[in-house]
A and B are shown apart, each in its own frame.
Chain A
Amino acid sequence: MTGNIITDFFNYYIVNGGYMFELFFNHLLMSVYGVIFASIVGIPVGILIARFSKLSGLVITLTNIIQTIPVIAMLAIMMLVMGLGSTTVVVTVFFYALLPIIKNTYTGISNVDSNIKDAGKSMGMTRNQVLTMVELPLALSVIIGGLRIALVVAIGVVAVGSFIGATTLSDVIIRGTNASDGTVFILAGAVPIAIIAVIVDIILRLIERRLDPTRRKKAPSETNHRVQTIN
């Protein structure tokens, strides 16, 4: 350590490169797992409550309540049930990721123009065909938006997971708070967490934009065709 924060910061990665990458990967993996499980449950639930709108109030209130629990309290509660370690963190991430995913799926599907749905029906589509061929494609960008928010939340939740024994980038931050001069440690742990969040946000935002039906680029003939049908 030379005392110059910027050189020390980069030295930290040069000296610990391999292990820091392992932590980085572990951190990202835990967030992704939690979000994947949440979307396996959340997207069908979102579709369901869009169809049976009486359920929507109840489900969204429930997930809203989960969101109000502080992360550290939630981790402590989950720790009592499931014990220490990374599995507990993944389950906690799952709960926090539910709200954005369910809510966005619900909003995306219920905002599909009812005229378009009716057009589908009148062409003889079954309910499931309307869902898979009309509603889901049109709602896809909103659903991806939900995943994006969920993943960014997840990265923050995983960071707290260090307190229940999971190996995350926060290990480095905690070591920094214990050392007598820990600025470099704290930065070395905090900066990559921020970087993961920003990168994930940018990538999913690009996907989201690409899937947005109002912005989707079409071949000229197709565009003409579409204009005609709408008219």
Chain B
Amino acid sequence: MEQFKKVFIMVLTALLVLSGCSLPGLGGGADDPIRITSLDTSESQIMAHIVRLMIEHDSDGELNPTIINNLGASTLQHNAVLNGDANMSAIRYSGTEMTGPLGQEPINDPELAMQTAKEIFAEEFDQIYFDSYGFDNSYAFMVTKETAEEYDLETTSDLEEYNDELRFGVDTTWLNRPGDGYEGFTEHYGFSFGSISPMQIGLVYDALDTGSLEVALGYTSDGRIAAYDLVVLEDDKQFFPPYDAAPLATKELLDEYPELTDTMGKLDGIITTDVMQQLNYEADGQGKEPAIVAEEFLEANDYFENLESEDHS
């Protein structure tokens, strides 16, 4: 019986010690200081790893953020930050935030949308919505380089002249969507398309490349734009709401680690849509893990160290 008691006490202490710390090797416990949410897209995961590596680099390895991956929608990211599961988000798109978690009317002016979102996040939720990384992932019409040269296309309005001649491919959901859908588009731009093929949005890039379509509606930061050398037509009448990508953190976290503001400041406006297309292509087209893409990108740019010294000089 004496021996049994000893074993029992040993097991009990072991359990207590174990429950005290997060599981070694795993991380991701509630006591990890920085927890970054990421969506299930490659783009979001690349940015999450960039933020993670930047923080690790700038704190000389003292801070090791955990990534909470694969959240299905921005509302989930919002809830995760609200209930304390996480305290940063790698990417929040201004347009999605406005209509989704914040429940506002969409605003078409990118700067105003960003500003409004920032104010609401700060006032209602005590969260800091940073400046954009410099890229956006909104809808835009795109054509191949050859088509652009042949018809002299630069802006979306240029399409009006050839609207019966060209074949258009669009996202199935976009056709019937109220607001920024097809109906809204025809009203805003004042012309409709002669031939429209609705399809899954992932297919339009290949359809352009193989010549089954001349014009397609796609996402501006998709990696295949760079890979297939497509030309994105400017939304000159500002019909599509802006989806500028920016990180978010809770005020609490930034008060605790003020140096994070500097780290995140280094990423401000540094990743243009072209750069993001390239990074996305490396992940989806060339089969690299987002973590690897992020690491290579930061190493090639020296973790934006030089940028900092320029600012100080």
Contacts and interface: CB of A to CB of B under 8 A. Distances in A.
B85 A128 contact: no
A90 B18 CA distance: 13
A228 interface: no
A86 B28 contact: yes
Contact of A86 (B27, B288, B291): B27
A60 B43 CA distance: 46
A33 B69 contact: no
Interface residues of A, number: 38
A163 B22 contact: no
A29 B24 CA distance: 9
A19 B70 contact: no
Given A40-B15, A85-B66, A175-B42, A8 B287 contact: yes
Contacts, number: 106
B28 A87 contact: yes
A163 B80 CA distance: 13
A227 B69 CA distance: 60
Contact of B70 (A126, A163, A184): A163
B284 interface: yes
A184 to B, nearest CB: 6
B36 to A, nearest CB: 10
Given A40-B15, A85-B85, A165 B27 contact: no
A11 B287 CA distance: 8
B55 interface: no
Interface in B107-141: none
Contacts of A126: 1
Interface centre among A128, A167, A188 (most CB of B within 10 A): A167
Contact of A87 (B3, B23, B202): B23
A83 B37 contact: no
Interface string B70-91: 1100000000100111100000
A130 to B, nearest CB: 13
Interface string A80-122: 0001111100100000000000000000000000000000000
A16 B29 contact: no
B23 A12 contact: no
Contacts of B15: 40
Nearest to B204: A180
A184 B285 CA distance: 11
Contacts of B28: 85-87, 166-167
Interface in B35-89: 35, 37, 40-42, 45, 66-71, 80, 83-86
Interface string B1-41: 10110000001001100000011011111100001010011
A90 B23 contact: yes
B68 A180 contact: no
Listed residue (B23, B42, B69, B80) with the most chain A CB atoms within 10 angstroms of its CB: B69
A15 B287 CA distance: 8
A84 B203 contact: no
B270 interface: no
Contact of A33 (B1, B26, B286): B26
Question: Which of B26, B68, B290 has the most A CB atoms < 10 Å from its CB?
Answer: B26
B285 A87 contact: no
A84 B85 contact: yes
Interface string B201-232: 01101100000000000000000000000000
Contacts of A15: 286-289, 292
Nearest to B200: A180
A38 interface: no
In the A-B complex, list the 4 residue pairs whose CB atoms are closest, starting with the nearest: A165-B68, A180-B202, A86-B28, A83-B85
14 contacts: A1-B286, A18-B292, A26-B26, A83-B30, A84-B68, A85-B66, A86-B29, A90-B23, A90-B26, A167-B67, A167-B69, A171-B45, A171-B70, A175-B283
Given A40-B14, A175-B40, A178-B42, 10 more contacts: A1-B287, A16-B288, A25-B25, A26-B26, A33-B23, A83-B83, A175-B42, A179-B202, A180-B202, A180-B284
Interface of A: 1, 8, 11-12, 15-16, 18-20, 25-26, 29-30, 33, 40, 83-87, 90, 126, 128, 162-163, 165-167, 171-172, 174-175, 178-180, 184-185, 188
